[in-house]
Structure 1
Amino acid sequence: MPTHTIKKGLISTLAALTLASSVAAEDFPTRDIRLIVPWSAGGGTDGISRKISNLAEEQLPVSIYAENISGAVSATGLTQMMRARPDGHTLSVLTYDSVITVPRSQLVPGYSLDKMKPIARITQEADAIVVSKRSGVTSFEELIKTAKAKPGSVRIGVMPEGSGPYLAARRLEEMTGASFNIITYPGAAAAESEALLSGEIDAAIASLGDFAGLIDSGDLLGVVEFSSEQNPSYPGVPPISDLGMNLESGSFIILVAPANTPDEAIQTLETAYHEAFASDEFQEWVAQVGVTPSWLGSEEVDEWIEARQAETFALMDELDL
C-alpha cells in the first residue's frame, strides 16, 4: 500500500477519534454518574457527599449514585476512581488523609494525586481549641498567655503524632512562643472528651462538631478555630484569621475525577455542584451538622491542594515525622 494512502488513513482515523471525543464531551453526561465515597457509610464525609450530590443531580439529566468503598485510609476507593474511564461518569472525594496521610506514608503503590483532576472544594471542617470549664480559661488569648508564662502548664490533648491536630499544636507553639504539655490520644475526640471532663487535660484540639454536646452543656468552651472563615454554627468562636494569624488545620471534602477527564465534563460537574452548594437547602443543612461550607472552583482548588500539602509536608520534615 502506498505511503501516502497509509498517512491519509491515519489522519482520517485520528480526525474521527477527535470528533467522537468532542461530541462525547458535548453530550456529557450520557449515563448515571458513580460517586465513590472512600469511607464507610454513615460518617461525615459520606453524609455531606451524598447530600450535595442529591442536590447536584437536579441540575443534570442523569442521577448521581453513591457507593462506599473504604480501606487503606481512603486509598482503596480512590484507586478505583483513578482507574476508571476519564469521561466524567466516575467521581470521588478527597479528605485530609487522602491528601496528606496516604501520600506521605506511601501507603499504596501507584497512588498519586497526579492521577486525579479536582472539580471543587465543598466544605472545610476546621480543627478548633476547646477548653474545659474547670480549667478557668475563657479565651484563646488567655490560653496562650498562660502557656507562655508557665511553659508546660497547659495540658492539651490531640490525636497522635503526624495528625492534623498534633501539627496544629506544634505550629501554634512556633507562632506564639507558647509551650504546651501535648498529650496524644489514639481515641481522638471521644477519649479527649473524657480527659477534659475528668480534669486530665485543660484543652483539646479537634473539630467543634466533635465536642458539640459538651459545648452545648457548658462543660466545654470553644476559643478559636484554625480557619480563615467564620463557622456559621458557632458564631461565638472566632476563626484564627480574626486574631491576625494564619493557621489552617482540619479536614475538608474535595470532589475529584480521574486525570484526563475532558474540561467540558469538569465544567458541567462544577456548575451543577456549585448550584447545589449555593442552594438554601444545602447551606442550612451543612450549618446544622457544624461544618463550614467553603467553595473553591476547579482552578483554585488545584493550587490550594498543592499549597496545603507542601506546607504540611515541610512542617512534618521539620519535626522529623
Structure 2
Amino acid sequence: MLSKNLKSKFVLALGACIIGTSVAAADYPTRDIRLIVPWPAGGGADAISRKISNIAEQELPKSIYVENIAGAVTATGLIQMTSSRPDGHTVGVLTYDSVITLPRGEMVPGYSLDNMAPIARITSEADAIVVSKHSGINTFEELVEKAKANPGTVRIGVAPKGSGPYLSVSQLEKLLDVDFNVITYAGSSSAEAEALLSGELDAAISSLGDFSGIISSGDAKGVVELTSVQNKTYADVPTISSKGFDLQTGSFIILAAPKDTPEEALTTLEAAFKTAYDTAEFQDWLQQVGVTADWLGSDEVKTWIEELQNKTFTLMDELDL
C-alpha cells in the first residue's frame, strides 16, 4: 500500500496534470495550425481552403498555414493528418474521394474515416459537363445528339474509376442511352483542362469552378450542370433538371481533425471557420468562382456523411462500379 506521503504526492501530481490539461485547452491554439490539403496546389479544393483559412486565422491568436500533400486519391495527406498529435493543431481537407472513393475501394491500408473528427462542411459543387471549343458542340442537346449518332466517339474526360465524375458519366450513359468514349485522368482537373484546350477531349466532367479559367477565356463552355439548383455565377449554364432529367452529383469541402482531438479545440476551430464562412469577403469570393456556400456544423455533417455513403454505395452496386 502507498504511504500517506506517496499518496499525497500522487494526488498532487494528478491534480497538476488535470490543471495542466485545462490550461492547455484554455490557451488553444498554442502554435500555428497546419491545414493539410490532399491535392496539389492550384486546384479548386486548394483555393477554397486557402481563402477560408486566411480569414479564419483572424479569429485566432495563431496563424493557419496550408500544406499540400497529394497522393493516393487524398489518402497520403489525410493519413498524415490522422497520424498527427490530436491536439487541434493539425486539420485536413476532405473531398468526395476522401468520403466515397477511398472507403468504397478500401484501397489504402490505414485509411479510415473512423480516425477523423469532422469539423464542418464548407461548400458543395455540382458536377458539370464542359465542352471544348474544338468540339463543335455548343449545347447539351448537341452533345447528346452527337453521342447518339456516333456511339463511342465523343471523348469525355473524368477522374479515375470510383470518383464522382466517373460515377456521373456512368449515370449519364444510362440516363441518356448513349455510349461515350470515357478517358480518365489522375490528379486534379487541371489535366482535363489542358486536354480540352488542346482538343484532346470533346468534353469533361467536373465543377464549373474547376474550369473557370478556360470558360472565361472562351476556350471551353459549360453546357449543363448536374443539379436542380441554378448556379448564380454561371446563370447561362442550364441545370440538367431543366432538361427533364433527375441527376445530382458533385463534390464538397469538409474539414476534419484527428480522432480524439479535445472538444474545446474542435469547438474553437468550428467557430473560427464559421465566422470566416459568414463574412461577405468569403461569400462574395465563392460566388465569383462559381462555388456554392453550403455549411453544415460538426453534428450535422457526421449524419450527412453516413447518408451520402449509403446512397452512393447503393447506386454504385446498381451500376456495378
| TM-score, reference length from structure 2 | 0.79
Offset at residue 276 of structure 1 (A): 0.9
In structure 2, the CA distance between the partners of 1:246 and 1:3, relative to structure 1 (3 Å rule), is: farther
In structure 2, the CA distance between the partners of 1:195 and 1:282, relative to structure 1 (3 Å rule), is: same
For residues 232-279 of structure 1, give each alpha carbon's deviation from its aligned partner in whole angstroms, at most 9, with x where no partner exists.
321222444666765443332211111122222212111111111121
Q: Does 1:251 align with 2:255?
A: no
The equivalent residue for 2:67 is: 67
**What letter is aligned with 2:33?**
I
The equivalent residue for 1:122 is: 122
The equivalent residue for 1:88 is: 88
How far apart, CA to CA, are the structure 2 residues paired with 1:308 and 1:87?
28
The equivalent residue for 1:191 is: 195
In structure 2, the CA distance between the partners of 1:223 and 1:152, relative to structure 1 (3 Å rule), is: same
Report the secondary structure of 2:234's partner residue: coil
The equivalent residue for 2:24 is: 24
For residues 131-168 of structure 1, give each alpha carbon's deviation from its aligned partner in whole angstroms, at most 9, with x where no partner exists.
4676565356x766x48986948835132433322211
In structure 2, the CA distance between the partners of 1:7 and 1:192, relative to structure 1 (3 Å rule), is: farther
Q: How does 1:36-75 map to 2 (within 5 A)?
A: 36-75=36-75
Offset at residue 14 of structure 1 (A): 6.7
How far apart, CA to CA, are the structure 1 residues paired with 2:61 and 2:247?
41
The equivalent residue for 1:234 is: 234
Q: Which residues of structure 2 form unaligned runs of 5+? A: 186-190
How far apart, CA to CA, are the structure 2 residues paired with 1:139 and 1:47?
29
Report the secondary structure of 1:310's partner residue: helix
In structure 2, the CA distance between the partners of 1:37 and 1:153, relative to structure 1 (3 Å rule), is: closer
Offset at residue 180 of structure 1 (A): 3.6
How far apart, CA to CA, are the structure 2 residues paired with 1:318 and 1:224?
24
Aligned 8 A contact 2:126 2:207 in 1:
yes
Offset at residue 31 of structure 1 (A): 2.7
**What letter is aligned with 1:184?**
I
**What letter is aligned with 2:192?**
A
Q: Does 1:181 align with 2:180?
A: yes
How far apart, CA to CA, are the structure 1 residues paired with 2:242 and 2:89?
41
How far apart, CA to CA, are the structure 2 residues paired with 1:167 and 1:120?
25
| Percentage of identical aligned residues | 56
Aligned 8 A contact 1:185 1:191 in 2:
no
Q: Which moved more, 1:211-220 or 1:161-170?
A: 211-220
How far apart, CA to CA, are the structure 2 residues paired with 1:273 and 1:244?
38
How far apart, CA to CA, are the structure 2 residues paired with 1:204 and 1:130?
5
The equivalent residue for 1:306 is: 306
Residues paired across the two proteins, number: 314
Report the secondary structure of 1:31's partner residue: coil
The equivalent residue for 1:266 is: 266
Q: Which moved more, 1:224-233 or 1:237-246?
A: 237-246
Aligned 8 A contact 1:151 1:178 in 2:
no
**What letter is aligned with 1:300?**
E
Q: Which moved more, 1:151-160 or 1:85-94?
A: 151-160
In structure 2, the CA distance between the partners of 1:87 and 1:241, relative to structure 1 (3 Å rule), is: farther
The equivalent residue for 2:156 is: 157
Aligned 8 A contact 2:128 2:208 in 1:
yes
Offset at residue 313 of structure 1 (A): 2.9
